[in-house]
């Protein structure tokens, strides 16, 4: 019975995967045919096969540069997480702090990443520091807002119960508010991770020696469009992989907490 159920689940997931990706496959097929038939010259738009060939040839180089970009994104996201947790709790504890801080972080979110990146390079040099700062500025907003919304979603009945039991502020957040905000937190984290990788790449465009952004700049200057598309799709793949990792972690954390 379990074997049949497992086989049925696998079949259902396979069908769902095919349905969700059929449009992508069709687009790639049409793209390939258009280049084959020379409706679009391959020096302007390489075919998917050419891009795959470039990706295979450049794979060791892409992996080497990806390590630096991922390290920057990871460090910046970790720092952004710490800032977000501290700031969100302060905003939840004090309405005055929330009214003062919220417009500032909202203003930060309206500033284009590409506009502030050159300033950080001028102020902090060409090392990893400006890239990490740019990632922090990009990720802490969605996480902070998600946490604040999660804290405020706690029902009045649960809050009154904890207060009637004379729970401390630490106990209130540790056992009620933070666990209740986990769903919102992971939603914000998925958005933040996509911002993190993009911000790291943008910072590398403007200065640095290693990273996918540096690699992108080099192939762009040499008009190597095959490699250009290869690195673009590689960045997209890494972003999807990170989001999938967060989804897996979300399922495990929420399952452990609520079961």
- The CATH number linked to 230 is 1.10.3720.10
pTM metric for this prediction: 0.84
At residue 75, the pLDDT reads 95
Q: Note down the domain range covering 74.
A: 46-258
At residue 4, the pLDDT reads 54
At residue 117, the pLDDT reads 82
At residue 153, the pLDDT reads 87
pLDDT at 37 > cutoff 90? no
Based on the domain organization, do 30 and 95 belong to the same domain? no
Based on the domain organization, do 8 and 114 belong to the same domain? no
Q: What is the mean pLDDT of residues 192-221?
A: 88
Based on the domain organization, do 28 and 98 belong to the same domain? no
Based on the domain organization, do 209 and 230 belong to the same domain? yes
At residue 222, the pLDDT reads 84
Question: Which tokens sit at 187?
Answer: 């939603």
Based on the domain organization, do 149 and 108 belong to the same domain? yes
pLDDT at 33 > cutoff 70? yes
At residue 186, the pLDDT reads 93
Confidence of residue 90 (pLDDT cuts 50, 70, 90): very high
Q: Residue 80, Cβ neighbours under 10 Å: how many? A: 25
Based on the domain organization, do 102 and 179 belong to the same domain? yes
How many independent structural domains does the chain possess?
2
pLDDT at 88 > cutoff 90? yes
Based on the domain organization, do 24 and 124 belong to the same domain? no
At residue 64, the pLDDT reads 94
Quick check: 130 and 124 in contact, CB under 8 A?
yes
Cα(39)–Cα(255) distance, rounded to whole angstroms? 52
Cα(108)–Cα(164) distance, rounded to whole angstroms? 40
Based on the domain organization, do 117 and 206 belong to the same domain? yes
At residue 162, the pLDDT reads 87
Quick check: 150 and 173 in contact, CB under 8 A?
no
Based on the domain organization, do 167 and 219 belong to the same domain? yes
Cα(123)–Cα(102) distance, rounded to whole angstroms? 26
Q: What is the mean pLDDT of residues 55-82?
A: 94
Q: Residue 70, Cβ neighbours under 10 Å: how many? A: 17
At residue 16, the pLDDT reads 64
Based on the domain organization, do 81 and 18 belong to the same domain? no
Q: What is the mean pLDDT of residues 79-108?
A: 90
| Extended strands (E) in 142-209 | none
Q: What is the mean pLDDT of residues 35-58?
A: 88
Based on the domain organization, do 143 and 87 belong to the same domain? yes
At residue 121, the pLDDT reads 82
The helix (H) or strand (E) run that includes residue 168 is none
Based on the domain organization, do 7 and 35 belong to the same domain? yes
Percent of the chain residues past pLDDT 90, beyond the cut: 42
Number of continuous H segments (helices) and E segments (strands) in the chain: 11, 0
Higher pLDDT residue, 209 or 73? 73
Cα(200)–Cα(211) distance, rounded to whole angstroms? 8
């Amino acid at each position: 019975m379990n074997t049949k159920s497992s086989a049925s689940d696998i079949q259902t997931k396979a069908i769902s995967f095919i349905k969700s990706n059929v449009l992508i496959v069709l687009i790639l097929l049409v793209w390939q045919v258009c280049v084959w038939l020379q409706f679009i010259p391959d020096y302007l738009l390489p075919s998917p096969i050419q891009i795959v060939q470039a990706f295979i040839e450049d794979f060791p180089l892409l992996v080497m540069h990806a390590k630096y970009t991922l390290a920057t994104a990871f460090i910046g996201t970790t720092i952004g997480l710490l800032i977000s947790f501290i700031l969100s709790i302060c905003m939840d504890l004090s309405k005055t702090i929330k009214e003062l801080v919220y417009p500032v972080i909202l203003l930060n979110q309206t500033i284009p990443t590409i506009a502030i990146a050159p300033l950080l390079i001028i102020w902090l040099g060409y090392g990893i520091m400006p890239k990490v700062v740019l990632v922090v500025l990009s990720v802490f907003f969605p996480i902070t807002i998600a946490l604040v919304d999660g804290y405020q979603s706690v029902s009045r009945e649960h809050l009154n119960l904890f207060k009637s039991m004379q729970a401390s502020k630490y106990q209130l957040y540790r056992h009620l508010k933070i666990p209740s905000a986990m769903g919102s937190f992971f939603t914000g984290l998925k958005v933040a991770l996509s911002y993190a990788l993009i911000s790291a790449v943008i910072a590398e465009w403007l200065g640095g020696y290693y990273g996918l952004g540096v690699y992108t700049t080099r192939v762009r200057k040499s008009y190597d469009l095959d490699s250009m598309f290869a690195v673009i799709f590689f960045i997209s793949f890494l972003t999807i992989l990170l989001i999938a990792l967060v989804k897996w972690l979300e399922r495990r954390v929420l399952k452990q907490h609520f079961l």
